[in-house]
Structure 1
């Protein structure tokens, strides 16, 4: 089955960070349609390539080099294909290969295998606890779960430490393999090759893993009890399908927007209060944008949203047949090279994508300079190094010299 067609469990590992913190969201979003972004579709394509590469490495009889090359040729027809996928998936395979070569013997490997952790689900929901792990290896007493993430935003960096998605995969794999292997330790790794230092690793004992499983059992039972609470917040609401309609989120954001308690306020707010208002307001701004999208969709569907209506936006003109129009303009005396066409080069990224990253670097790389990005404000948890306009003593000394 292809990656796109896979069913998703009610208690899926990929959304565990949300339903473990906000158990009420499980039933709230049940039945609501899911939407997929272009970046998600790009990630799916990269995962399909990564899966074939890892199977080719471990089990070449199942996917031969010839079969792999044929599949890559077909993938290149996809409009989302980028030659960089080859290098990024190679980095993922290199990590898996290096890990396996460091073991006393060849591990057993499963790529894109579904692992069930139904024994930690409430009665009647045993079939709603499962997920598909990118790569799982077991050798002796060690279980390895390796996840491939294709995101490129530094803000999207994911840590393997106590990562609930990875721990649920490990729980399911342990339950399936414990009779075959004396597993004592789970080693979790996340490989994000599009980010610098994009590898995160963490290990835990099976006792720790099972302790986490009991927490999962409690939260899952609470989620279907009908008495589950809600924990609205930036992380829990980000991918929740009910986020635009959730009353708890609405109440939370209205409270943040209109009555944040930051203590007694002087005539001018301090830097500390500036930071706190920004933190509190970020979720409010995002919620208002999503609420506006929700209201527009309702109005377009013919449903009333008191105080609001949908109208036609600013119109724009476009050619119905540009070639025919230009031909007539030329016949009327308009010089095409002077009036109708503008010579405009492709962007650097477009040229690089057209000829390939390596060939671009070999031929035109010496003519490329990296312009520093415009300063951006992010939360201090962001991994990028902080910058400032202040000149250091070392920089000042350099200028004098």
Structure 2
């Protein structure tokens, strides 16, 4: 097996919908991301935290790993908190079985009998009774990841079934896949029968082979977001521009001067994707021009910047030496709530000052109907405002 499979489980949503994407991406350079490194470190901390929790390693080994990664530029103390949350979730799930389940971490699984040359790594696998549980940790906080019918985790589950078949035989009847995304408080679970999972594996085999061989057509959609060709793909451009052509035709066929709620719904849905695509094109265009190529009608200019000290310590010392009072130079302000929680740790913070923490209702904002947040209540907002005024 190669270090990087052409059809990886993590990109399954993409190649299942756009079979030509993998071969196109293979021609484009892979750009290292600081977020990728951050995610790698967070996964490693989650692994040792969970292993310590389930008594699979000793505290000294845990401390050694944490010490190693604390020296990394991408380290953030928040990783200790998210790892603790991840471990607690796994412990809660394990307690849900009638008997102590089999648990394994960072398990490499082979999926090549479904997807050519493919393999994956499961963050956590549990077997208990007749159920296989796959849990995947996500460190990102920009894009919520749903477990529902998630092809990446379904492929992991197929690999896990294949790996453990000799051990558990046909006793397993159900599969449960979970996304744990602590930084946005997302813990999402979806399940199906083993029979349905195996049937799905058979169903996607032709699609996987088509993508592996480089056959089919380009097909743009939400899966374009993390594609290496995002922002420079012609199929994506055609889809985005064509979407508004279709909308224009539909509007012109209506004998009205104002957009109806349905019309606004159309604009909001199409515009969201169009804005994201436009920003991706701008990013790509800047990269192209910084590499020396020209784009007709555009140029690279210097953006806004703020003044900074070349040597802050020396500058402030100079002010003091010249009689400027320290009270003029320095402000004494407490750390923010989030900063104090990070310094003290979530548990200690909650014990000491949790009773003083409140979360006011946020300002109303638009979101699509599949957003996990509950619908805004104007009555609750009015009540909160009255209560706030009454406390003054």
**TM-score for both structures, normalised by structure 2:** 0.84
Say whether the 8 Å CA contact 2:154–2:197 is kept in structure 1. yes
Say whether the 8 Å CA contact 1:141–1:182 is kept in structure 2. no
Say whether the 8 Å CA contact 2:81–2:346 is kept in structure 1. no
Residue ranges of structure 1 left out of the alignment (5+ in a row): 1-5
Deviates more, 1:28-37 or 1:379-388: 28-37
Cross-structure match for 2:390: none
Cross-structure match for 1:14: 10
Say whether the 8 Å CA contact 2:109–2:160 is kept in structure 1. yes
C-alpha distance after superposition, 1:140-164 (max 9, x if no partner): 65433222233446x60412x3221
Say whether the 8 Å CA contact 2:361–2:381 is kept in structure 1. no
Aligned ranges 1:1-400 → 2 under 5 Å: 7-35=3-31, 37-57=33-53, 60=56, 63-78=57-72, 80-101=74-95, 103=97, 106-121=100-115, 126-127=116-117, 129-138=118-127, 142-152=131-141, 156-159=144-147, 161-183=148-170, 184-190=172-178, 191-196=180-185, 198-205=187-194, 207-233=195-221, 235-260=222-247, 261-263=249-251, 264-265=253-254, 266-331=256-321, 333=322, 335-337=324-326, 339-389=328-378
Tell me how far apart the structure 2 counterparts of residues 316 and 393 of structure 1 sit (CA, whole Å): 40
Instruction: Provide the aligned C-alpha RMSD in A.
Output: 3.4
Say whether the 8 Å CA contact 2:20–2:216 is kept in structure 1. yes
Tell me how far apart the structure 2 counterparts of residues 174 and 362 of structure 1 sit (CA, whole Å): 43
Tell me how far apart the structure 1 counterparts of residues 146 and 266 of structure 2 sit (CA, whole Å): 24
1:239, distance to aligned residue in structure 2 (A) = 0.8
Tell me how far apart the structure 2 counterparts of residues 358 and 106 of structure 1 sit (CA, whole Å): 27
Say whether the 8 Å CA contact 1:9–1:131 is kept in structure 2. no
The structure-2 alpha-carbon separation of the partners of 1:177 and 1:345, relative to structure 1 and needing over 3 Å to count, comes to closer
Say whether the 8 Å CA contact 2:320–2:326 is kept in structure 1. no
1:132, distance to aligned residue in structure 2 (A) = 0.7
Say whether the 8 Å CA contact 1:23–1:228 is kept in structure 2. yes
SS of residue matched to 1:146: strand
**TM-score for both structures, normalised by structure 1:** 0.82
The structure-2 alpha-carbon separation of the partners of 1:376 and 1:7, relative to structure 1 and needing over 3 Å to count, comes to farther
Tell me how far apart the structure 2 counterparts of residues 211 and 10 of structure 1 sit (CA, whole Å): 23
1:197, distance to aligned residue in structure 2 (A) = 6.5
Q: Which has the higher helix share?
A: 2
Say whether the 8 Å CA contact 2:7–2:212 is kept in structure 1. no
SS of residue matched to 1:201: strand
Say whether the 8 Å CA contact 2:38–2:74 is kept in structure 1. yes
Say whether the 8 Å CA contact 1:8–1:131 is kept in structure 2. no
Say whether the 8 Å CA contact 1:232–1:252 is kept in structure 2. yes
C-alpha distance after superposition, 1:175-209 (max 9, x if no partner): 2332332134242231334455624131322x322
Say whether the 8 Å CA contact 2:22–2:211 is kept in structure 1. yes
Say whether the 8 Å CA contact 1:92–1:148 is kept in structure 2. yes
Say whether the 8 Å CA contact 2:122–2:136 is kept in structure 1. yes
1:83, distance to aligned residue in structure 2 (A) = 4.9
1:115, distance to aligned residue in structure 2 (A) = 0.9
The structure-2 alpha-carbon separation of the partners of 1:53 and 1:365, relative to structure 1 and needing over 3 Å to count, comes to closer
Say whether the 8 Å CA contact 2:176–2:191 is kept in structure 1. yes
Residue ranges of structure 2 left out of the alignment (5+ in a row): 388-392
The structure-2 alpha-carbon separation of the partners of 1:187 and 1:224, relative to structure 1 and needing over 3 Å to count, comes to closer
